[in-house]
Chains A and B, each alone.
Chain A
Amino acid sequence: MTGPIGARIPRNEDARLLTGRAQFVDDVHLNGMLHVAFRRSEYAHARLTAVDVSAAREREGVVAVYTAGDLGGYWKPGPLLVSPPPIPGLVFHPVTQVPLARDKVRHVGEPIAMVVATSRYLAEDAVEDIVVDAEPLEAVVDLELALAPHAPLIHEELGSNLAAHAIQRKGDFGAAKSAAAQVISRRFHYDRGASAAIETRGVVAAWDANAEQLTIWDTTQAPIPIRNGLAGMLGLLESQVRVIAPFIGGGFGPKIMMFYPEEVLLPWAAMKLGRPLKWIEDRLESFTATTQERGQIHDAELAVDGEGCILGVRDRFLHDTGAYDTYGLTIPINSQCTLLGPYRVPAYDSEFTVAFTNKTLVTPVRGAGRQHGVFVMERLLDLAARALGLDRVEIRRRNYLRPDEFPHDHAILFQDSAPLVYDSGDYLPALEEAARIVDYRRFISEVQPRRRAEGRRVGLGIVSYVEGTGIGPYEGARVTVEPSGKVRVATGVGTQGQGHFTSFAQIVAEVLGVAVSDVYVVTGDTAVFPWGTGTFASRGAVVAGSACFAAASTVRTKALALAAELLKVDQSRLMLEGGKVSEVGRTEHAIGLGELARRANPLRGAVRPGTEPGLEATAYFGPARGSTASGVHAMEVEVDPETAMVRITRYVVVHDCGRVINPLIVEGQIHGGVAQGIGNAFYEQLRYDESGQLMNASFMEYLVPTASEVPPMEIAHAETRSPLNPLGVKGVGEAGCIPTGAAFAQAIEDALDEPGLEILEIPLSPNRLFELMQAAKESGSMTVGGPG
């Protein structure tokens, strides 16, 4: 019988969520609350000459209208959120977003004015009353043209649209290339999408002038940094600001501590007006005002020897950061580091250039650039295998790091500024398991030829990836046993559907010997737990989970010490199980945890010096560096060669996130990630026209895969524990979406088996696939066919 950790149990929070009793930001209704709408830029790039809000101010029901000029000293650019790692020779020009545009607008959707009214309807009517005089400027949309010599300047003071440039190298790629049997060189495109969370962003802010207390409900993944930042901006003590991140319908990255204009403006206006304010982002706003995924263009080369062993990789890539680079270089560094994958790469020469464009800001979205690196590397390996006549599974097998090569130092820096060192891993079993589940040999030797003979085109993709997870700096947790015997856990990370109320409860239940359903977890309320950073980078279970473990362990120690005293039994003879401490072999000689909690907090008598009242402990955990999860995805597709429509018929994931706390939750994370990856690969693409207008800013035109498009998934777990935390866990939040594009591309190529047909871009629409098929046919008939 195993304990709560590892148990496949339904989630503690599901009853609340499924019966509609979970509180989301839009469920907050306060007396006298006013509603906010924003006038946003219709231009991607324009100089503002005048903003006339007089008619809006006069509209009945309008309480206030603010422009940049009305903000006075409160107007300033937002904070730089992540400083870049100390890469030698790094160039980095930070320019962060402003609360309301003053002289220029730099992307469609950038806020220009804020309207406060008695209803959202009236606020939107007043938004239309505002007259914006703007002088349109040529927009920078194309990533490559952004850095052309005479490109229009987005931030004039910089003199160019260059946001950053960095080179990381190890070994000697030149030497590797000259020694190579094959060098594969290609250009890869990976375009941007939206995170498309089911719940858009929202903020409610209320200032209690009597208590001098500001309360903010915010759809943020990181309530504590938001509280700290807002306190500083508003001149309040951190203790005067309470940020509550209640239930949130999906984070996926863009809800991190962004200090979005709306997040900064509502608290300020709520204090100024003395009225609670609510702003709920609508879907149209969400498409242009919420940060987006990343577009990159890679020129990459892979050098392999005659056996297919990697000698070196060279990659030069462009990264589109949008109008501002508030989130530093996390994404391109993720791409750069994750490209190395589970492979031994003796020589690596990676250079990236980040450009500003007149598009919405790019910040981490699930995967956060990792999928770009994986796509490039996996495609290069496929092409190398093809060039050498090697099997795709075999070329991967030959290049995997072996278990005895860990910890493995890749000799470059990761996004958290720590060296890129893999803690542990065992890659080959996962590959073999995936190949076994999809019956790889039989597929290529029997299934595929048989279907082909029937005129059908089926293909299989099988790819590998690693995911850097669980980075620092730290998280904390407080564990308290109540007199009822139930246990309260408080932690600072926000929760957006990850199952924290269950995973953390399982960890604490395991340590304290109580039922998982008796552990009540509170997350994301700065008044309940004021220290921490937030939920991002697949770090909740690793970092906050380990803090829960540490705090629960201290409570256990306290409980056993007190029980030893009360039961007059040596501690070594005591066990903690079923919510009771009892003597081994004499279970009737026991005392309940609740009773211990009561005895530890007496109403009379004295608490001895050196002890603390109650059964409670607070602990913090900060890992030395991130832990590296990994996995293999295999996908079967069927392509209709006439219509270019693709159907995913099978999806297999073999996944290693170290010790699994709850397989049901891990699988849920993978299901969601794969769905997002499928969207990214085939359906979702933000399409901008040459003037920087987003042409598909609705769910009618921006295609998110639905239950009809996402196949059932077969999931198997491998467990290579991390030595970097007491639980041995690794993160899993982003794994599902990282290798999907690479698997999709390989599977389609495999299905069509058309000489000259290479899938070097993601997303790949059926229209684009049709064009590639036509081009391959035409080039094929020119070079091969034709009479004499």
Chain B
Amino acid sequence: MKPAPFDYHRPETLDEALALLAELGSEAKALAGGQSLVPAMNFRLARPAILVDLNRLGALAYIDQQPDGELRIGAMTRQRAAERSPMVARSAPLLFEAMPWVAHPQIRNRGTMGGSLAHADPAAELPAVMVALDALCVLRSQRGSRSVPAQEFFTGLLTTALTPDELLTEIRIAPRPAGAGAAFLEVARRHGDFALVGVAVELRLDESGVCRSARIALLSVGEGPVLATAAMAVLAGNPTTAARIAEAARVAGQRDIDPPSDIHATAAYRRHLASVLVGRALTRAAERAARPAAAP
């Protein structure tokens, strides 16, 4: 379990890092917290010829709020920092609720917000949360900067919209609208394991309890985070009754996902869990939307 030989660069600035990526191209792999990449290298499953270590880029570790309330999280922000950030708790309750589900504290101390998103593991929590929040991913290269909605950032199994010369530098989360309620739930074999199934939901209800919008994103049920559009359609524009929620939950498990089977869960069990969790999460989110004070 020793990695294959590789070259190593440790740039001191973002410009230097982008220059290296531009020069080295697809031979190079960016190293952030290393919580997924380094084990994969030790198994010799990943064999990058060159590592570009981003850990000196302290300027990419920040959590800020814009005057309009938009939350901006630098890609090198450690997950533990986001987990403990009052600003995250206030501005993005869904993200705040999901953070403790990301692996173990030791891993969150080292793992970064951007690293988890760029790695795009379908069983990871943060990609699904960003899709549910409709967050924006800011991508930088020597060629310039662009913003990609989370839903478009994740393009398949462990793949993203990043080109070899680009880095994910920032995540932007718009201020949550009035009447919003969110919930995150997952089922894992042991606490801290990758989820068998997880779900991130955010509902917006009007004063009469009618669902103005619903975002439901599932993890561990496909090649990336899955937006449960059919289930969302069941809810949008309708009162959030128990029957509606049950129908949305059923649709999420049966129509929105095509989950894989593996040694921990069959596709049938995953569909079943997805329905159970979507139902529970929607119920909780609806309660929170109706009673904003009860939000976390």
Contact yes or no, B2 A696, CB < 8 A = no
Decide if B2 touches A121 in the complex (CB within 8 Å).
yes
B190 touches A709 (CB 8 A): yes
Chain A min CB distance to B2 (Å):
5
Within 8 A of B (CB), among A51-98: none
Bound-complex Cα distance A532 to B21 (A): 62
Partner of B189, one of A120, A124, A703, A770: A703
Chain A residues in 8 Å Cβ range of B192: 706, 708
Instruction: Check if A124 sits within 8 Å of B190, measured CB to CB.
Output: no
- Interface: A765 (CB within 8 A): yes
Q: How far is the CA of A771 from the CA of B5 in the complex (A)?
A: 46
* Chain B minimum-CB-distance residue to A689: B263
Question: What is the bound-complex CA distance between A767 and B269, given in angstroms?
Answer: 6
B190 touches A125 (CB 8 A): no
Which residues of the partner chain A approach B194 to less than 8 Å between Cβ atoms? 700
Q: Are B190 and A706 in touch, CB under 8 angstroms?
A: yes
Residues of B within 8 A of A696 (CB): 263
Judge whether A708 and B191 touch: CB under 8 Å: yes
Within 8 A of B (CB), among A747-785: 765-767, 770-771
Contacts of B273 in A (CB 8 A): 643
Q: Is B162 an interface residue (CB 8 A)?
A: no
A22: B residues at CB distance < 8 A: none
Contact of B43 among A284, A705, A771 (CB under 8 A): A284
Pick the contact of A643 from B39, B43, B187, B264 — CB < 8 Å?
B187
Shortest CB distance A562–B (Å): 58
Which residues of B have CB within 8 Å of A128? 4, 44
For window 605-641 of A, CB contacts with B under 8 Å fall at: none
Describe A's contact surface by its main secondary structure.
Answer: loop
Q: CB of A156 within 8 A of chain B?
A: no
User: What residue of chain B has the Cβ atom nearest to residue A697's Cβ?
Assistant: B43
Query: Could you tell me if B191 and A770 are in contact, using CB atoms closer than 8 angstroms?
Result: no
Q: B19: shortest Cβ distance to chain A, in Å?
A: 30
A683 touching B265, Cβ below 8 Å: no
Q: Which of A681-714 contact B (CB under 8 A)?
A: 683, 687, 695-696, 698, 700-701, 703, 705-706, 708-709
B13 at interface by CB-CB < 8 Å: no
- Taking A643-B273, A703-B193 as contacts, is the C-beta distance between A120 and B2 under 8 angstroms? yes
Contact A642–B276 (Cβ < 8 Å): yes
| B119 sits at the interface (CB 8 A) | no
Q: Using a Cβ–Cβ cut-off of 8 Å, how many residues does chain B contribute to the interface with A? A: 24
Q: In the bound complex, how far is the Cα of B194 from the Cα of A643, in angstroms? A: 16
In angstroms, Cα B261 to Cα A770, docked, is 14
B8 to chain A, nearest CB (A): 14
Q: Least Cβ distance of B20 to chain A in Å?
A: 24
- The answer for the CA separation of A645 and B272 in the assembled complex, in Å, is 13
Q: Is A282 close to B, CB under 8 A?
A: yes
Which listed residue (A644, A767, A771) contacts B264, Cβ 8 A?
A767
**Known contacts A645-B187, A703-B193, A706-B190; A283 and B1 CB within 8 A of each other:** yes
CA distance A709 to B43 in the complex (A): 27
Residues of chain A contacted by B1 (CB below 8 angstroms): 282-284
Complex contacts, A642 vs chain B, CB 8 Å? 276
| Cβ contact within 8 Å between B272 and A766 | no
Q: Is B266 engaged at the interface, CB distance under 8 Å to the other chain? A: yes
Task: Say whether, besides A121-B2, A767-B269, A770-B269, A701 and B187 are in contact (CB < 8 Å).
Answer: no
How far is it, in angstroms, between the C-alpha of A645 and the C-alpha of B265 when the chains are bound? 12
Contact indicator A766/B43 (Cβ below 8 Å): no
Nearest Cβ on chain B to A470's Cβ, whole angstroms:
35
Q: Are A767 and B265 in contact (CB under 8 A)?
A: yes
Q: Is the interface of B mostly helix, strand, loop or mixed?
A: loop
Query: Residue on B with the closest CB to A124?
Result: B2
Inter-chain contacts of A706 with B (CB < 8 A) = 190-192
B268-294 vs A, Cβ < 8 Å mask (1 yes, 0 no): 010011001100000000000000000
A708-B190 contact given A125-B5, A696-B263, A765-B264, CB 8 Å threshold: yes
Q: Which residues of B have CB within 8 Å of A708?
A: 190-192
Cβ 8 A contact of B191, one of A121, A282, A687, A709: A709
In contact, B4 and A770 (Cβ under 8 angstroms): no
CB neighbours (8 Å) of A703 from chain B are 189-190, 193
Inter-chain CA distance A696–B193, complex, in Å, is 14
Given contacts A642-B276, A701-B263, contact A766 B2 (CB under 8 A): no
- A680 CB to nearest B CB, Å: 14
Contact among A121, A282, A687 with B263 in the assembled complex (CB-CB below 8 Å): A687
Q: In the complex, which residues of chain B have a beta carbon less than 8 angstroms from the beta carbon of A121?
A: 2
Give B177-200 interface residues, CB cut-off 8 Å to A.
187, 189-194, 196
* In-complex Cβ contact of B276 among A284, A643, A700 (8 A): A643
B15 to chain A minimum Cβ distance, whole angstroms, is: 33
Q: Could you say which residues of chain A place their CB within 8 Å of the CB of B4?
A: 125, 128
Cβ B263 vs Cβ A705 within 8 A: no
Q: When chains A and B are docked, how far (Å) is the Cα of A467 from the Cα of B260?
A: 43
Chain A residues whose C-beta falls within 8 Å of the C-beta of B190 in the assembled complex: 683, 703, 705-706, 708-709
Q: What's the nearest-Cβ distance from chain A to residue B170, in Å?
A: 29
> Chain B contacts of A125 at CB under 8 A?
4-5
Least CB separation from A701: chain B residue: B263
Least distance between B146 CB and chain A CB atoms (Å): 34
Contacting residues, chain A, for B264 (C-beta < 8 A): 701, 765, 767
Q: Which residue of B lies closest to A283 (CB)?
A: B1
Write the chain A residue with the least CB distance to B277.
A643
Name the residue among B4, B5, B189, B265 with the largest chain A CB count within 10 angstroms: B189
CB-nearest residue of chain A relative to B191?
A708
Closest to B197 in A: A643
Bound-state Cα–Cα, A770 to B191, Å: 19
- A193→B276 CA distance, assembly (Å): 30
* Alpha-carbon gap, A128 to B43, bound state (A): 13
Point out the residues of chain B lying under 8 angstroms from A644, CB to CB: 269
- A107 to B218: give the CA distance in the assembly, Å: 39
What's the Cα separation between A709 and B266 when bound, in Å?
23
Q: How far is the CB of A126 from chain B (nearest CB, A)?
A: 11
Chain A residues, Cβ within 8 Å of B44: 124, 128
Chain A CB count within 10 A is highest, among B1, B4, B5, B276, for B1
Q: How far, in Å, is A288 (CB) from chain B's closest CB?
A: 13
**Distance, CA A749 to CA B187, complexed state (A):** 22
State whether A766 and B189 are in contact (beta carbons under 8 Å apart), knowing that A282-B1, A284-B1, A642-B276 are contacts in the complex. yes
Bound CA–CA A700/B194 (angstroms): 9
Residue of A nearest to B280 (CB): A642
Considering the chains assembled together, what is the distance between the CA atoms of A442 and B4 in angstroms? 61
- Map CB proximity to B onto A107-131 as digits: 1 under 8 Å, 0 otherwise: 0000000000000110011001000
Q: How far is the CB of A10 from chain B (nearest CB, A)?
A: 27
B144-159 CB contacts (< 8 Å) to partner A: none
Complex Cα distance, B39 from A643, in Å, reads 31
A708 to B188, CA, bound (A): 12
By a CB distance below 8 angstroms, the chain A residues around B266 are 767, 771
Chain B residues 43-87 with CB under 8 Å of chain A are: 43-44
Q: How far is the CB of B131 from chain A (nearest CB, A)?
A: 23
A705 to B, closest residue via Cβ: B190
The complex places the Cα of A703 from the Cα of B188 at a distance, in Å, of 11
Residues of B within 8 A of A700 (CB): 39, 194
Residues in B with CB closer than 8 Å to A770 are 269, 272
| In the complex, chain B residues whose CB is within 8 Å of the CB of A767 | 196, 264-266, 269
- A–B Cβ pairs within 8 angstroms, 24 of them: A120-B2, A124-B2, A124-B44, A125-B4, A128-B4, A643-B273, A645-B187, A695-B263, A696-B263, A700-B39, A701-B264, A703-B190, A706-B191, A706-B192, A708-B190, A708-B191, A708-B192, A709-B191, A765-B264, A766-B189, A766-B269, A767-B196, A770-B269, A771-B269
14 further A-B contacts with Cβ under 8 Å, apart from A124-B2, A643-B276, are A121-B2, A128-B4, A128-B44, A283-B1, A284-B1, A643-B273, A696-B263, A698-B43, A700-B194, A701-B264, A703-B189, A706-B192, A708-B190, A708-B191
Chain B residues engaging chain A, CB cutoff 8 angstroms: 1-2, 4-5, 39, 43-44, 187, 189-194, 196, 263-266, 269, 272-273, 276-277
Nearest 8 interchain pairs by C-beta: A282-B1, A708-B191, A121-B2, A642-B276, A687-B263, A124-B2, A767-B269, A767-B265
